[in-house]
Structure 1
Amino acid sequence: MAKEQQRQGVALTKGLVFLMAVSCGLAVANLYYNQPLLAEIGRTFQASDQMTGMISMLTQIGYAVGMFLFIPLGDIKERRRMIVLLLLAVGIALIAVAAAQNLVWMYAASMAVGITTVAPQMIVPLAAHLAAPEERGKVIGSVMSGLLIGILLARTVSGFIGGVFGWRSMYIIAAILMFALAYTLRRKLPASHPETQLTYGQLVRSMGTLIDGERTLREAAMIGAMMFGAFSVFWTALTFYLEGPHYGYGSEVAGLFGLVGVVGAAAASVIGRLTDRWSPRLIAGFAVLIALLSYASFWLAGSMLAGLIVGVILLDLGVQGVQITNQARIYRLKPEARSRINTVFMVSCFVGGAVGSSLGSYAWSRWGWNGVCAVGGCMVLLAFVCWLSFRAGARAEKE
């Protein structure tokens, strides 16, 4: 058993990895239930597409805030207890969304959901901590596959439930799931004792030192922000496009596109294994190019369902490829600071995601589908420029 596992006294079994993957998927889904339901929520509150699109943006801003506030604590607090408390808190926030009576209430409750839906970003570093170094990429890939499938299936499930029972029902069901998950993880997750004795203030200040001193972390954060922004541009605008005059579909069909994306997400564990053998940075570059092809498909063939389907598969494959390879790289940097490193990376990603959600709804309201494709494609291009600009420095990095 690896040294870190011996220190924890815990064997990282396949069953435990599977539980972590499922937990990440169920928890992170809270951030994405709203996307196929935006048009229906807008009708409930008689709001414009642009105003309704802010629900998705505020949820992701809340997630970035929650990660900044809570995830660094994983380096100085017992992780299992924090995960359970956060799941209970998000269950309460989901009930508040279900009870929303106006758009302002919906904004506030959605941001609260984002702030408290940060348990997955404690589970992933915990899995990396428990894994043997030679299997870390595979374990991260397995847990991340659950997280990514949760992101995608959230849209399918919420589109179906929202279309049949109404959008409020989805949030009530989600709250029940979070309370059940909190109970399960309280019993099954191993205790994880911190290795750092810093105060919270020192912990937060040290993140600036990590950013300044770790070129790999800066690169991963910048690329992650642009890629997740491009991801959010598409998924925020898709519902409006499918429910528009060209297609005329309801929320159920918009949600079904999440099933299409699972094809790409299922490759996450394979990508994780590749990062244990080959250069993660090189794989990340290929993943960015795959995402660029996805936006070419959206632009050239988005008027046909086949073009959208191909684009969704490529986009999810590209985004998850960047996510997994970047996390495999940054978790190698400082084992004692994994929670803080993960905070810097994921906050950057979801700030990019929030910007992408806002730009996606704005581009749709101003320029339609072509505007959405242009904005999303430009964000992917910026990610590729970041990847190229760090290439010279990467030669000195031991991967």
Structure 2
Amino acid sequence: MPRQRAPRLPLVLLALVAGVTVANTYYLQPLLHVIADTFGLRGGSPGLLVTVTQAGYVIGLGTLLPLGDRFDRRRLMLITIVVSAAFDLLVAFAGNVVVFAIGLLGLGVFSSVAQLAVTYAAAAAEPARRARSVAAVMAGLLSGIVLARTYAGWLAQVAGVRAVFVVAGVACIVLALAIARWLPHERVAKERSLVVLYRTAMALLRREPLLRLRAGLGFLSFAAFSMFWTTMALALSGPPFHLSTGVIGLFGFAGLAGVLAARVVGHQADRGRAGVTTVASFSLIALSWLALAVDRSSLLWFVVLTATLDAGIQGAQLSNQAAIYLLAPGAQGRVTMVYMVCYFLGGVAGSSSASLLYGVGGFRTVAVAGVVVGVLGLVIMAAAGFAERRWRERARATGTSGTPEGGVARLDEVA
């Protein structure tokens, strides 16, 4: 029996869940220089706090997200959002950097609920509209990322860093009440064994070349993202700009370009053009980083390049997700777990390496590394296309038919 089209209210609520919870992992980025002064941190070491948060998110993806294929995602979202609220309060009232870091780690783990919202939407949607349903929830997620920085920068300047996380905790509680009231329980068959869940997740990675390809591209795209936002506040608070926390937070609005890119990519992916949008996205990433490496003396230029970089990164992300959800119907949680663990490992690598590079050579050195990341994504796509063409030539020569190993249809369509 075909799935019913997802009602509008649950999609809006899922978008809010994704946006509010993922925001927990981004409040820190425009506040790093303030946190550094509060706890006496120097050089690029404040950026390592971002790494701690992202490491927590990876742990959450690897442990909590697959449970969506075993248990009702609505119930999981309720539990994890309430726990996230508790960690928001721990971060808000931390008296030293160790407790602060522990709070950030826990906040990262349970903020992975954002991806439960994405997989809920993917599982509930009709196949022909899956990419658009995912894009709708992703638009909420991306809006949360964008507004998190602006909100955090503004509120920290007005009421202090503590207020940022107190209000975030209250927002999570309100959202949990909304889920309990309006989000329906899932009505799909669930895998019974947790052992089978984790074993099949690893089997998917071994069996599906498309998943490996997209996981690698996700690693690179989020590395590029984290490299920028981990060092951006440090660069803008110093010479030649000397911007305040509130003004730095406004740079989050430039990320609205990523939200717009998600809508465009969602429509194109449903038409089988995820390969084209991926190449376009990584081209934009490489060119934006190149421009930042060459010249960042103009504040307006910095704003424009922030927008183009975010658009490229979010376009790559949605292209990847549209492709992987063609795999293994009924296992969206496991597919998403494998992909998002690789994705956020890229974030951990990006934020930690950017912190080190910034301490060594400043923002320009980080930008050069960003160019390398973008170009590497294009090289991987070119190699995937070459491998696909060789497979098809062999298939024609031997008279075989079908699809490449792992059931991948056409790399120019879904890769």
- What range is the shorter-chain TM-score in? over 0.9
For residues 78 and 193 of structure 1, the distance between their equivalents in structure 2, rounded to whole angstroms, comes to: 9
Q: 1:394 Cα shift? A: 4.2
Matches within 5 A, 1:308-319: 308-319=302-313
- Number of aligned residue pairs: 393
Amino acid at match of 1:337: A
Residue 151 of structure 2 is aligned to residue 157 of structure 1: yes
- Distance in 2 (CA, whole Å) between partners of 1:155 and 1:343 is 26
Q: Deviations over 1:209-257 (max 9, x none)?
A: 1001001100110000111001100001000001112111111121111
Matches within 5 A, 1:236-255: 236-255=230-249
Q: Which residue of 2 aligns with 1:351?
A: 345
Look up the equivalent residue of 1:113 and give its one-letter code. L
Shift of 1:286: 1.2
**Unpaired segments ≥5 residues, structure 2:** 390-403
Partner of residue 110, structure 1: 104
Which amino acid counterpart does residue 352 of structure 2 have in structure 1?
A: S
Asked whether the 8 Å contact 2:84–2:172 carries over to 1, the reply is yes
- 1:334 aligned counterpart, secondary structure: coil
Paired with 1:288 and 1:80, the residues of 2 have a C-alpha distance of 35
**Aligned pair 1:56/2:50, yes or no?**
yes
State percent identity of aligned pairs: 33
Question: Pick from 83, 86, 89: which aligns with 2:77?
Answer: 83
User: TM-score of the superposition, structure 1-length normalised?
Assistant: 0.95
The offset of 1:17, in angstroms, is 1.7
Pairing 1:176–2:166 present: no
State how far apart, in whole Å, the 2-side matches of 1:360 and 1:346 are.
20
Q: Distance in 2 between matches of 1:146 and 1:157?
A: 15
Please report how far the alpha carbon of residue 156 of structure 1 lies from its aligned counterpart in structure 2 after TM superposition: 0.5
> Which residue pairs with 1:8 in the alignment?
none
Q: Which residue of 1 aligns with 2:393?
A: none
Partner of 2:217: 223
Residue 29 of structure 2 is matched in structure 1 by: 35
Shift of 1:194: 5.0
Report if aligned partners of 1:287, 1:317 keep a CA contact under 8 Å in 2.
Answer: yes
- Alignment map for 1:1-399 (pairs within 5 Å): 3-5=2-4, 11-394=5-388, 396=404, 397-398=408-409, 399=413
Letter in 1 for 2:284: I
Letter in 2 for 1:127: A
Residue 372 of structure 1 deviates from its aligned partner by 1.2
CA distance in 2, matches of 1:394, 1:15: 41
Contact 1:298/1:373 (8 A) holds in 2: yes
Residue equivalent to 2:397: none
How far apart, in 1, do the equivalents of 2:369 and 2:363 lie? 10
CA distance, structure 1, for counterparts of residue 298 and residue 256 of structure 2: 20
- Does structure 1 retain, via aligned residues, the 8 Å contact 2:241–2:299? no
Divergent runs of 4+, >6 A: none
CA distance in 1, matches of 2:352, 2:94: 21
1:92-141 deviation line (CA, Å, top 9, x unaligned): 01111011111111111111100010111111111111111111111111
Deviation at 1:196, TM superposition (A): 3.7
- C-alpha distance in 1, partners of 2:344/2:177? 28
TM-score w.r.t. length of structure 2 = 0.92
> Aligned partners of 1:261 and 1:301: how far apart in 2?
20
Secondary structure of residue in 1 paired with 2:294? helix
Mapped partners of 1:261, 1:305: distance in 2? 15
| Rounded Cα–Cα distance in structure 2 between residues aligned with 1:61 and 1:302 | 30
Gaps of 5+ in 1: 6-10
SS at 1:258 equivalent: helix
Offset, 1:334: 0.6
